[in-house]
Chains A and B, each alone.
Chain A
């Protein structure tokens, strides 16, 4: 009997995965899985580093699962007496550096040279030890960045396969299911069977309890920024991942957004009865594709009343029908300087309006109210750079503005340096009267009457 056959038989008894070639029984193949107890550090060279050799940046990833080593061992005739075993090792993709592979291949020759018996056995045993020893690397393996994605994907697929093959007791239906029938929630890691998750979430979405689309475990929560307990919502894309119908998920995403908007005081509903839109806001951008909605932000959906663009202006634009309306009186937009709402609100508006009228001049181009703090009456608008006269509000030629103040007999003759306080109010041909609501005078009268009545009562 060939000494090689005896050696192969022994090894196959220990490692059944050691296979013989179809044509050549002395060509052996072995797959060595790389599944590590301690994660191995991989250093991926960052592609954008172009500065000299000394300045290379690396992205570090710690992995536990890597593509296996494919080991081919040929025992030529004359082995073990006269011919050494010939080994070739590879990985797909080739993540283990060629020098290391060479070193492992050469190991077979060194063993043969020392004249040990059971070379095949010793060699395979040494190879199997390699992964747990991190192949002798102590400070990570440097790898080209192009492999990063495929290696991470490989690891994910191994973990998924192990999960699918496991058995899990679902705590909702209390049955044991295979991992493939189950789903692990991304945020908290709790596992349930897809059937229970599907039925539960579908029922909650159908009855409109979108706030209940959370982990089915009792007491599963995260701590919010303010220290309170928050039950994290499941993002729409995850519902699709677990196999829910797109129509249901679409409804969920729509209702979730609508509820957040409805509970936000800075947002007003569109006044058109047939439209269910609301005022546009950066906080609630139009809905994206549900498959891309991987995040549902829990913290910004409530109680953000201040620092919102909406509160600084009365103008609102419906995000659905694009109607431009006033957030206070809900009527079609009437301009910033019209009065509406309750008498108190209108009185406040009136007071600021009067102040603006007495202490500012309107830019003849853009209408911005401009107050002079000091200097001459030749003004340049802060907003549109228009040149104008602060006294009468006339547009002035940017290249030569001064004749306006130098021409005998005109209204502003010799008035270039007149201080704001000395400008006689009556002479102010002020300026375009801002857009007033049609019932402006009536409203002002009503406010004055109300104030007189209150004074009388006191």
Chain B
């Protein structure tokens, strides 16, 4: 599968030289193009403003036929990111039936940034946080800001 590997190189060079706004992409290990370190600045119009979040991308061997595995390494108070050691993310385009070989990592990064601005409360991983977001926004914002400050990457 030589061609998809070449694609990983191309995608990385594009994402690292020309990343989406407020993002920075680098390799975890210089010798391995399949594990990316993505730093996302908290968007200005969100409770995550001022924060910085480290997100890990692992591209499987059969990438791009299979989606990248994306995890938050920085703790975040967000209903679509699990509040555990793994930091799993729920994004529609990463689901097996939605991911397509022509989907790109850059789109995933943009989607994550979008989730920081508007969480998807209808499909949450953390139900309590989603409920709080809907019913007690003030308390949610307070806690999200608190965590952002505390765990900044």
Work out how many contacts link A and B, with CB atoms closer than 8 A: 49
In-complex Cβ contact of A174 among B10, B65, B93, B103 (8 A): B10
Contacts of B93 in A (CB 8 A): 218
Task: Tell me the complex Cα distance, A17–B10, Å.
Answer: 43
- Kindly supply a per-residue 1/0 record for chain B positions 70-113, scoring 1 wherever the CB is within 8 Å of any chain A CB and 0 otherwise: 00000000000000000000000100111111110001000000
Contacts of B124 in A (CB 8 A): none
In-complex Cβ contact of B4 among A173, A214, A215, A218 (8 A): A173
Q: Is the CB of B100 within 8 A of A220?
A: yes
The residues in B between 110 and 125 inclusive whose CB is less than 8 angstroms from any CB of A are: none
Selecting from A193-201, A273-281, A382-390, the interface stretch reads: A193-201
The residues in A between 177 and 208 inclusive whose CB is less than 8 angstroms from any CB of B are: 192, 195-196, 199-200, 203-204
Given A173-B4, A174-B7, A199-B1; A218-B97 close (CB under 8 Å): no
Contacts of A199 in B (CB 8 A): 1, 3-4, 65
In-complex Cβ contact of A200 among B6, B65, B97 (8 A): B65
Contacts of A443 in B (CB 8 A): none
B146 at the interface (CB under 8 A from A): no
Q: Bin the interface of chain B by size.
A: 20 to 34
Contacts of A214 in B (CB 8 A): 100
A171 at the interface (CB under 8 A from B): yes
Contacts of B4 in A (CB 8 A): 172-173, 199
Task: Tell me the complex Cα distance, A215–B97, Å.
Answer: 12
Contacts of B6 in A (CB 8 A): 173-175
In-complex Cβ contact of B65 among A175, A203, A211 (8 A): A203
Q: Is the CB of A172 within 8 A of B64?
A: yes
Q: How far is the CB of B53 from chain A (nearest CB, A)?
A: 24
Task: Tell me the complex Cα distance, A192–B101, Å.
Answer: 11
- Kindly supply a per-residue 1/0 record for chain A positions 203-243, scoring 1 wherever the CB is within 8 Å of any chain B CB and 0 otherwise: 11000000110111110100000000000000000000000
Contacts of B65 in A (CB 8 A): 199-200, 203-204
Q: How far is the CB of B55 from chain A (nearest CB, A)?
A: 20
In-complex Cβ contact of B102 among A195, A204, A211, A217 (8 A): A217
Chain B residue nearest in CB terms to A171:
B102
The residues in B between 1 and 60 inclusive whose CB is less than 8 angstroms from any CB of A are: 1, 3-4, 6-7, 10-11
Task: Tell me the complex Cα distance, A171–B100, Å.
Answer: 11
Q: How far is the CB of A278 from chain B (nearest CB, A)?
A: 25
Q: Is the CB of A203 within 8 A of B62?
A: yes
Contacts of B64 in A (CB 8 A): 172
Task: Tell me the complex Cα distance, A215–B101, Å.
Answer: 9
Could you write out 30 A-B pairs with CB less than 8 Å apart? A172-B3, A172-B4, A172-B64, A172-B101, A173-B3, A173-B4, A173-B6, A173-B7, A174-B7, A174-B11, A175-B7, A192-B102, A195-B3, A196-B3, A196-B101, A199-B1, A199-B4, A200-B65, A200-B101, A203-B62, A204-B65, A211-B97, A212-B96, A212-B97, A216-B101, A217-B100, A218-B93, A218-B103, A218-B107, A220-B100
Closest 9 CB pairs of A and B: A216-B101, A173-B3, A171-B102, A218-B100, A172-B101, A218-B103, A216-B102, A174-B10, A217-B102
